[in-house]
C-alpha cells in the first residue's frame, strides 16, 4: 500500500473501534454524509457486517456503502501517518490533548501536507482501549460535563464531523512532517524495541511489560516520526543491542 495519501484524499478517516450497536454505526454514517466526510472504517463490529439496524439509521448515506470493515485496529490504521484518539477521560497518558476545533485545525495541516489522518472512536460502553490511545499522536476531548459525561458514539462522530466541515479553510502556520511514517512502520519499530529490551531483561517484573511499552511508545507517538527516522532509530536499537557485545568480543 502506498504510504502517501493520493491527492484526492482531502478528509480525515473516521475509525470506529469495536462498536456495539448498529444504530450508532448507521447514525454515524448519516452525519458523516451530512458533513461530506466520505471515509468510515469499522474495526470488528460486535454484531457483524452488514448490519440491518445500521442501514436503517444511515438513511441511504453514501458513507455506509463505502464503509470498510477490518478485523483489527492494526489493519484499519496501517496506512495512516497520524492518529487522534477521542476520549472523555484523561487516562494518564502523556499526549497532547486537543479540543475538537484545535484538532481539526491541526488535521487540516497534516492533510494538506499529504498525510492520511485517522480519528479513532471507541466502543459505546468502554471507549477506546489503552492500546489505541497509546499509538495515537494526540487526544481529542470534548468539553462534557463531568457529572453526565457519557456521549453517544454517533453524537461524538457528529460533533467532530461538523467541526471538520465548519473549520477555517485557512491553515495555521503548521508545517507538517514530510515522509511521515505510517502506523504500520511505527509498529515495526515498537516491536523491534520491545524484543531487544525483552532479551536484555528490561521488563521486570514481566507483567509490567505492557505499561512500560505504553510509556515508551507515547514518547514516539507524540511527535510522530518520518520514515527515515524510523530507519535511523531501528539502527540505534540494533547497534546498541549488539554493539557492546561485539566490541567486547573483538577486544578479547
Interface with a copy of itself in residues 167-186 (CB under 8 A): 168, 171, 173-175, 177
72 vs 178 by CB, closer to a copy of itself? 178
Whole-number minimum distance, CB 24 to a copy of itself, in Å? 11
The DSSP secondary-structure symbol of 179 reads: S
Q: Which of residues 32-61 bind a copy of itself (CB under 8 A)?
A: 33-36, 59, 61
- Decide the pairing of beta strands 13-17 and 40-43: parallel
Cα dihedral 236, 192, 181, 37 in deg (nearest 10): -160
Our finding on whether 209 is near a copy of itself (CB under 8 A) is no
Distance between CA atoms of residues 39 and 19, nearest Å:
16
Q: Which of residues 231-250 bind a copy of itself (CB under 8 A)?
A: 232-233, 235-237, 239-249
Distance between CA atoms of residues 84 and 107, nearest Å:
9
Distance between CA atoms of residues 27 and 215, nearest Å:
35
76 vs 123 by CB, closer to a copy of itself? 123
Our finding on whether 195 is near a copy of itself (CB under 8 A) is no
Q: Are 221 and 213 in contact (CB under 8 A)?
A: no
Distance between CA atoms of residues 61 and 42, nearest Å:
16
**For a copy of itself, which stretch binds (CB under 8 A), given 7-15, 43-51, 75-83, 150-158?**
150-158
120 vs 193 by CB, closer to a copy of itself? 193
- Decide the pairing of beta strands 138-140 and 97-98: parallel
The C-alpha cell 494538506 sits at 112
Report the residue count for the chain.
252
Query: Which residue in the set 15, 30, 40, 185 belongs to the binding site for a copy of itself (CB under 8 A)?
Result: 30
Distance between CA atoms of residues 196 and 237, nearest Å:
8
**For a copy of itself, which stretch binds (CB under 8 A), given 43-51, 69-77, 113-121, 166-174?**
166-174
**What H or E segment, with its residue span, contains residue 83?**
strand 82-86
Our finding on whether 62 is near a copy of itself (CB under 8 A) is yes
**For a copy of itself, which stretch binds (CB under 8 A), given 11-19, 46-54, 72-80, 193-201?**
193-201
72 vs 90 by CB, closer to a copy of itself? 90
Distance between CA atoms of residues 19 and 120, nearest Å:
11
Q: Which of residues 6-25 bind a copy of itself (CB under 8 A)?
A: none
Whole-number minimum distance, CB 224 to a copy of itself, in Å? 7
Q: Which of residues 82-121 bind a copy of itself (CB under 8 A)?
A: 94, 96-102
**For a copy of itself, which stretch binds (CB under 8 A), given 7-15, 44-52, 68-76, 210-218?**
210-218
Our finding on whether 125 is near a copy of itself (CB under 8 A) is no
CA–CA–CA angle 23, 25, 27 (5° rounding) = 65
Amino acid at each position: 500500500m502506498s504510504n502517501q495519501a493520493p491527492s484526492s484524499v482531502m478528509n480525515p478517516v473516521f475509525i470506529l473501534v469495536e462498536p456495539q450497536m448498529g444504530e450508532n454505526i448507521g447514525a454515524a454514517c448519516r452525519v458523516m454524509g451530512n458533513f461530506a466526510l466520505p471515509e468510515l472504517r469499522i474495526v470488528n463490529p460486535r454484531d457483524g457486517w452488514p448490519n440491518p439496524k445500521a442501514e436503517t439509521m444511515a438513511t441511504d448515506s453514501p458513507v455506509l456503502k463505502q464503509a470498510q470493515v477490518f478485523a483489527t485496529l492494526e489493519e484499519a490504521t496501517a496506512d495512516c501517518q497520524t492518529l487522534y484518539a477521542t476520549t472523555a477521560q484523561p487516562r494518564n497518558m502523556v499526549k497532547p490533548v486537543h479540543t475538537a476545533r484545535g484538532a481539526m485545525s491541526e488535521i487540516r495541516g497534516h492533510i494538506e501536507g499529504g498525510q492520511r489522518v485517522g480519528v479513532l472512536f471507541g466502543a459505546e460502553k468502554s471507549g477506546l482501549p489503552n492500546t489505541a490511545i497509546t499509538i495515537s499522536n494526540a487526544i481529542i476531548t470534548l468539553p462534557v460535563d463531568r457529572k453526565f459525561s457519557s456521549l453517544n458514539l454517533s453524537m461524538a462522530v457528529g460533533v467532530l464531523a461538523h467541526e471538520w466541515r465548519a473549520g477555517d479553510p485557512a491553515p495555521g502556520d503548521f508545517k507538517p512532517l514530510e515522509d511521515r511514517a505510517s502506523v504500520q512502520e511505527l509498529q515495526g519499530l515498537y516491536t523491534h524495541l520491545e524484543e531487544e529490551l525483552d532479551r536484555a531483561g528490561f521488563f521486570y517484573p514481566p507483567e509490567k511489560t505492557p505499561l512500560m511499552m505504553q510509556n515508551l511508545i507515547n514518547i514516539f507517538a507524540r511527535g510522530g516520526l518520518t520514515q527515515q527516522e524510523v530507519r535511523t532509530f531501528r539502527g540505534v536499537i540494533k547497534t546498541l543491542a549488539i554493539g557492546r557485545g561485539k566490541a567486547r568480543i573483538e577486544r578479547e
